[in-house]
Amino acid sequence: MKKIFTISVLLFLFTSIATFGQSADIFSEIIEAEELTVQQAAYIPCSWLNPQSDLSFQDAFSFFCEKGWLDPNTPADEPISLKEFSGICMKTWNIPGGLMYKITKSNWYAFKELRAKGFLHSYDDPSMKVSGEKALDLIYQCMEYAENRGL
């Protein structure tokens, strides 16, 4: 399982670097982070939606604030919770959710939906802070899900 995860993350990284032309240093910083900040967590999903070669962490944070997916009053350098990150992933890859998610677009229901789809473990807590490794695993699963749906 660990070997499959490592291969998947490496494949994702090489694909992302080639596709988006982003610096390997930025991806290294994200992978190595024990707790991703809000702006770091927004970087790869923002690159998917708005690829540009000179994208910074702050640009990604601002982009999601403008879309209304992040609260602009949240400090950009604060660690992001799994619940908040789940909301970003659901919206970025347009993953359909259950009735309550469709009505509210709430991060809580995004977390519950990703856990129900098996993207998150049953022991994952919505308030836990997201590591770079965990974030890339979740992003990869969301990208694969969207690709399989033809998005």
- Provide block-wise average pLDDT over 10 residues at a time, the chain (151 residues): 54 52 75 93 88 83 93 94 96 93 95 97 96 94 88 56
Tens-place pLDDT, residues 55-92: 889 999 999 999 999 999 999 999 999 999 999 999 99
Burial of 53 (0-12, 13-18, 19+ CB in 10 A): exposed
C-alpha to C-alpha distances, 151 to 13, 46, 143, 144, nearest whole angstrom: 20, 16, 9, 10
Give residue 112's Cα distance to chain centre: 15
Q: What is the pTM for the complete model shown?
A: 0.81
pLDDT confidence of residue 16:
54
pLDDT confidence of residue 3:
55
pLDDT confidence of residue 47:
85
